[in-house]
Structure 1
Amino acid sequence: MAFKQVAFVLVLLSVSRSKATNISKDDDIDLEEQLKLLNKPPIKTFLTEEGDIIDCIDIDKQPAIDHPLLKNHKIQRKPKLPLSNFSKTSSATKYIQFRSRKPCPIGTVPIQRIKKEDLIRTRSLPKMPSVNMVEIEDAPPSGQHRVFLSHDHTYLIKYGASGYISVYNISTALDQFSSHNIWIETGPPDHISMIVAGWRVDPLLNADGLTRLFTYWTGDGFRDGCYNTFCQGFVQDIATGNWWLRVHDPPINVGYWPKELFVNLRNGSLHAAWGGVAKEGTNGYCPPMGNGHMPDVYTDKAAYFRKVQWMNANGESFHPYKNLPKVVDTPSCYNLLNLKLMRDPWGYLFTFGGPGGYCRA
């Protein structure tokens, strides 16, 4: 099974192409209006090898800034806090090639074009589960099963979270997904503000079986937000308080979520978490998570997060100095082994995942 790893950080700074199902006339009108808001006139367009249409959009006209909360938002060109200690790693490490193979013109940003069938298909997507105040005995939301380490020391305000994630090419059924990701979230359950980002195999979200970068956000208890760029809000990479997404090593500034979007993430976060989520199919069977093997002390046998770190208000990153508690809601299908602080280049390390199988209680 093919394997690579990717450096990943969230920072707070100063489809087989499925056919559309039958829809009503009113729904069709609403979908057309959404497409007009999300697909701006491009300066340039190109097609990727995976079949995605990428539009190069004027940076000041990208759909994110049409969000009503961003009327007076000034686009930030790069993170403000120093992040020099994030990108130190071994030169022998293999990485996912993330940079666009066809660059957009200066002053524009690459945005995947959204089609009507994409909007119809993603209506069925469940919202990402929260890691805040999760109890083991809680029923997994929408058939989603979680395994993660949580940094819930509320006296330490988190202004970022990072880690190096191993990424595998796994297979899922059409009604399943499997992801490994980082959470940043704060607030009571009914008004949770949350950002999730990582790597995910999800035929419903992506219309294919590829392992792809994904993001999810909600600013106010799932009353708003979405995956990827299926709604306004995420500002693509070319003020203090914006949550940046940085990927790869050396890091690439993908873009950011402006602080105005969040009720409870404007002054740091109380909670951060690292781990995986897998959604069972309608038959109760779950896909593999990680590389399909249960956690192991050997990183060549199981998926892992290494150099798990959190960031303070000065942009300084720290490994957890206390053992992070783990949450595993379906140990017969997935688990997590906390190997804690190790020698470089591993840092704070854990392995996780599992084969899946029949996971319904």
Structure 2
Amino acid sequence: MKLLPLLLVFFGVSLGEVGKISEDDDIELERQVKMMNRPPVKTFTTEEGDTIDCIDIDKQPSLQHPLLKNHKIQKEPTFQVTSFGRNLSRIKFVQFGLREPCPIGTVPILRVTKKDLIRARALPKMPSLAALRQDALQSNQHVISLVDNKIENIKYGAYGRASVYNISVASDQFSSHNIWIQTGPRDHVSMIVAGWMVSPQLYGDSLSRFFIYWTGNGYRDGCYDVLCPGFVLVNRGAPIRSPLRGSTYGGDQYEVSIHIEQDRETGNWWLIINYPPIKVGYWPKELFVNLQNGSLHVAWGGIGLAGSDGVCPPIGSGHKPDDDYTHATYFRTLQWVSEDQTYLPPSTEVGIWVDRSHVYDLKYHPHDRHLGYWMGYGGPGGYCRG
């Protein structure tokens, strides 16, 4: 596959530059758009202006991945999905998904355009936990995270409830809040990421949206959301990239629970949102070189992509954490999943990574009877180059 010219991979790419791609690149983009946009059973437009195509579940574009040629769709996980943590009066789950689901037997997929693909290629890859210093600084990403690195504990999943905020970022910045699951050296890392993000470059707007990212083999493959074959959707009412409602500083909190777990019978990695559980879909085991049998590392945190002017965006609420969970964005009820499906808190061997620009911070609270193991994180952003 031919790549776009180098000018498109820098952070200041604009949609006006679409016309500068070569004829061969344009043909390749047209091929990808045709592959990703399957004939719909039904099409509608959301209030936010997203075009949703309802695609036959067995004909969804994810199955075009060469490694999934003989893949049989798994409609339900074989493990039991339960709820974690206490529901507090000031905390509510965000509404996730469509107001009206797609017809039975179909799944909702946002229509892909060439501009979508170009915007996605302009973003840096999500940084590897194993090489945060190198990856993050080279791509101008600024990371704050809590990492469970106890490799004796093979982790078959991770869980956390993240508060969501609606924040403003510049056109060449993004602000993400997510769970990582990964194993392997950087050159062959297998990684799954899920959470919420504000990214004008990726989405063409400033809404807080649910996102996913994956790579199976050291960034040679994978993508954001479902902009390439790979992630298999099974829920007819829960498209990736769904807009999310934001919390109020010092007031009501709206959170999204993120549950990623490997099915021990099939090896597939399931994504489950909120409770009652919305089983969105899964990453097939065939995609991954190093996530065949659990993971060595899980982490919770956020990333701020600095703009071309060297200014980092706000992360979370735009406030640094204190001891009040209604002030900074939080991840609460932190859990990892053992082989026998026991849900356990982070080990004592956690590492805290806080970007050295001093525009963000992270405070970890090992236990709280209401919030469980939780962390507050984020900050206002600001000049962060150097």
Cα distance per residue 1:109-163 (max 9 Å; x no partner): 011100111112222111000112545x876231000000001100000000010
Q: Which has the higher contact order (CA 8 A, sep 6+)?
A: 1
Letter of the structure 1 residue corresponding to residue 69 of structure 2 = K
Check if 1:242 corresponds to 2:268: yes
Give secondary structure in 2 for the equivalent of 1:123: helix
* Identical columns (%): 57
Give secondary structure in 1 for the equivalent of 2:123: coil
Give secondary structure in 2 for the equivalent of 1:155: coil
Partner of 2:372: 347
Q: Distance in 2 between matches of 1:243 and 1:272?
A: 14
Q: Distance in 2 between matches of 1:86 and 1:255?
A: 20
Q: 2:56 aligns with which of 58, 69, 83?
A: 58
Cα distance per residue 1:275-313 (max 9 Å; x no partner): 000000001001101111111111111111100000112
Letter of the structure 1 residue corresponding to residue 24 of structure 2 = D
Q: Is the 8 A contact 1:87 1:250 kept in 2?
A: no
Q: Is the 8 A contact 2:75 2:234 kept in 1?
A: yes
Task: Label 1:79 to 1:138 Cα distance change in 2 as closer, same or farther (>3 A).
Answer: closer
Letter of the structure 2 residue corresponding to residue 356 of structure 1 = G
Q: Is the 8 A contact 2:43 2:52 kept in 1?
A: yes
Q: 1:259 aligns with which of 266, 272, 285?
A: 285
Q: How does 1:95-244 map to 2 (within 5 A)?
A: 95-135=93-133, 140-238=137-235, 240-244=266-270
Q: Distance in 1 between matches of 2:103 and 2:87?
A: 31
Cα distance per residue 1:93-117 (max 9 Å; x no partner): 3221113112111110011100111
Q: How does 1:282-293 map to 2 (within 5 A)?
A: 282-293=308-319
Partner of 1:298: 324
Letter of the structure 2 residue corresponding to residue 40 of structure 1 = R
Letter of the structure 2 residue corresponding to residue 355 of structure 1 = P
Task: Label 1:323 to 1:190 Cα distance change in 2 as closer, same or farther (>3 A).
Answer: closer
Partner of 2:294: 268
Q: 1:281 aligns with which of 307, 332, 337?
A: 307
Task: Label 1:123 to 1:105 Cα distance change in 2 as closer, same or farther (>3 A).
Answer: same
Q: Is the 8 A contact 2:150 2:350 kept in 1?
A: no
Task: Label 1:313 to 1:96 Cα distance change in 2 as closer, same or farther (>3 A).
Answer: same
Offset of residue 18 of structure 1: 4.9
Task: Label 1:213 to 1:131 Cα distance change in 2 as closer, same or farther (>3 A).
Answer: same
The list of structure 1 runs, each at least 4 consecutive aligned residues, that deviate by more than 4 angstroms after superposition, is: 17-20
Gaps of 5+ in 2: 1-13, 236-264
Letter of the structure 2 residue corresponding to residue 216 of structure 1 = Y
Offset of residue 88 of structure 1: 5.6
Q: Is the 8 A contact 1:18 1:207 kept in 2?
A: no
Q: Distance in 2 between matches of 1:209 and 1:200?
A: 9
Partner of 2:10: none
Give secondary structure in 2 for the equivalent of 1:94: strand
Cα distance per residue 1:55-97 (max 9 Å; x no partner): 0000000011111101111100011111224376346632211
Q: Which moved more, 1:247-256 or 1:313-322?
A: 313-322
Letter of the structure 1 residue corresponding to residue 385 of structure 2 = R
How many residues get paired?
343
Cα distance per residue 1:170-198 (max 9 Å; x no partner): 00000000011000000011100001110
